[in-house]
Amino acid sequence: MIHRTDPARQAPWQVELAAAIRDPEALVRVLGLPDTLLAAAHRAHEHFPVRVPPAYLARIRPGDPEDPLLRQVLPLDLEEAPQPGFSRDPVGDLAAQVVPGVLHKYEGRVLLTATGACAIHCRYCFRRHFPYAKAHAARDHWAQATAHLATDPSIREVILSGGDPLTLHDDKLAGLMGALHALPHIKRLRLHTRVPVVIPSRVDDGLLGWLDEAPLAVAMVLHINHPREVDDAVVRACERLRAARVTLLNQAVLLAGVNDDAEVLAALSERVFEAGILPYYLHMLDRVEGAAHFAVDAARALGLLEILRARLPGYLVPRLVREETGAPAKVPVVAVGAGPGCR
């Protein structure tokens, strides 16, 4: 017998999550896009399905196939093209996994792949091929993950990623917080999420309750790639998060056809700061199979960064970084021959 959740008992954000578009034809039709996009969208959708929640859909310009928000979610034939140098595990996640769902790459911190679920499927996702069914930390009520954390007192920070950890219910997240509080060496919790951006109603009383009472310092790294992703609802959600003592940072991915433009990047830094979010990283694309058409070369990225440095105060200029398998931290992208002083 199948038990279905009563929609009347769901939180508004859960209703929005369930209402996400999951069919490429529906996405094309509702936005009034050319029918010529359909065949390609269906082919790419078979390998990595479409998911676009209503709040994000409403920010996409109808009838514009080049809209930078649409480009992040519309499947294209380019995803199926051969991609030398691109792989299914571009940053060595699987080699860094110490127990299911626990990645230990960097000293003093570990990352938990809390879930395989996301509120939106970004076409550049570097974990689009990750084996979540076998490797998510919440599967046993966090037992294996917290047991590993207990064995290593050098770990001071836990990073929740996924998927997206804020697709989990508040009680599941509160259970993890309680388990971490029992480990005195854990001082900080960091959440990497796109949910407050694509479904701002997720920042509700339930979420804010456990964040406000959190015994750990909490940082939230939002993934915002374009200034038009920040509407009034996102600003209000960020205000509520800051009132709950959450430090807000932004990690943008540098994406061809989305934000590889100095004007857009400057506007992005200004816009997120207006929402109380500090620009943190401008991340080079992780070279995942299916996303090569988003790649921006390092020389162009450095040129864009120099323009930002000339236009913006230093605190609004994100660090240009890439992730390299085996490196002890994110690697700054610098010009060939540049010394440490240029970093």
The number of folded domains in the chain is 2
In this prediction, residue 288 carries a pLDDT of: 96
- Could you tell me if 109 and 36 lie in one domain? no
Local confidence band at 137 (pLDDT 50, 70, 90 cut-offs):
confident
Residue where one domain finishes, among candidates 80, 108, 138: 80
Q: pLDDT, tens digit, for every residue of 199-254?
A: 999 999 999 999 988 999 999 999 999 999 999 999 999 999 999 999 999 999 99
Residue 263 lies in a domain: yes
Residue 265 lies in a domain: yes
Residue 88 lies in a domain: no
Dist. CA 10–CA 21, nearest whole Å: 18
Sheet with 247-253, edge to edge strand ranges: 97-99, 102-106, 109-113, 157-161, 188-193, 217-222, 247-253, 278-283, 319-322, 331-332
Containing domain of residue 70, as a range? 7-80
Cα dihedral sign, 50-169-188-137: negative
Q: Residue 214 corresponds to which amino acid? A: A
Residue 343 lies in a domain: no
For the domain that residue 211 is a member of, what is the CATH number?
A: 3.20.20.70
Residue 314, C-beta contacts closer than 8 angstroms, at least 6 positions apart: none
Q: pLDDT, tens digit, for every residue of 158-186?
A: 999 999 999 999 999 999 999 999 999 99
In this prediction, residue 10 carries a pLDDT of: 86
- Could you tell me if 297 and 254 lie in one domain? yes
Alpha carbon separation from 159 to 36, 180, 212, 253, 281 (Å, rounded)? 42, 12, 18, 18, 16
In this prediction, residue 337 carries a pLDDT of: 56
Dist. CA 210–CA 275, nearest whole Å: 22
- Could you tell me if 119 and 246 lie in one domain? yes
| Residue 238 among known ligand-binding residues | no
Token readout for 143 is 């037992």
Local confidence band at 132 (pLDDT 50, 70, 90 cut-offs):
confident
In this prediction, residue 82 carries a pLDDT of: 85
Dist. CA 286–CA 200, nearest whole Å: 26
Average pLDDT over residues 39-47: 92
Q: DSSP character for 171?
A: H
- Could you tell me if 75 and 105 lie in one domain? no
Local confidence band at 336 (pLDDT 50, 70, 90 cut-offs):
low
Dist. CA 173–CA 179, nearest whole Å: 10
Residue where one domain finishes, among candidates 25, 53, 80: 80
- Could you tell me if 66 and 190 lie in one domain? no
Q: Is the model's pLDDT at 5 over the cut of 50?
A: no
> Which residue shows structure tokens 């699987």?
94
- Could you tell me if 256 and 136 lie in one domain? yes
Q: Which residue has the higher pLDDT, 338 or 42?
A: 42
In this prediction, residue 136 carries a pLDDT of: 78
Residue 130 lies in a domain: yes
Residue 112, C-beta contacts closer than 8 angstroms, at least 6 positions apart: 101, 102, 103, 137, 138, 142, 145, 158, 159, 160, 161, 165
In this prediction, residue 6 carries a pLDDT of: 52
Dist. CA 14–CA 6, nearest whole Å: 11
Q: What is the CA radius of gyration of the chain?
A: 20
Q: Please, are residues 196 and 233 in contact by the beta-carbon 8 Å criterion?
A: no
Q: pLDDT, tens digit, for every residue of 60-76?
A: 999 999 999 999 999 99
Strand residue runs (E) in the chain: 97-99, 102-106, 109-113, 157-161, 188-193, 217-222, 247-253, 278-283, 319-322, 331-332
| Residue 342 among known ligand-binding residues | no
Residue 87 lies in a domain: no
- Could you tell me if 74 and 101 lie in one domain? no
SS (H, E, C) 28-44: HHHCCCCHHHHHHHHHH
- Could you tell me if 153 and 302 lie in one domain? yes
Residue where one domain finishes, among candidates 30, 51, 80: 80
Q: DSSP character for 21?
A: B
Residue 239, C-beta contacts closer than 8 angstroms, at least 6 positions apart: 275, 276
- Could you tell me if 67 and 112 lie in one domain? no
Average pLDDT over residues 28-54: 95
Cα dihedral sign, 199-200-206-207: positive
- Could you tell me if 58 and 199 lie in one domain? no
Residue 325 lies in a domain: yes
To the nearest whole percent, how much of the chain has pLDDT over 90? 87
Which of 93, 230, 257, 259 is closest to 163 using CA atoms? 93
- Could you tell me if 313 and 177 lie in one domain? yes
Residue 272 lies in a domain: yes
Dist. CA 130–CA 163, nearest whole Å: 9
Local confidence band at 3 (pLDDT 50, 70, 90 cut-offs):
very low
Which of 179, 270, 282, 196 is closest to 234 using CA atoms? 196
- Could you tell me if 60 and 120 lie in one domain? no
Average pLDDT over residues 294-299: 98
Token readout for 268 is 């992005």
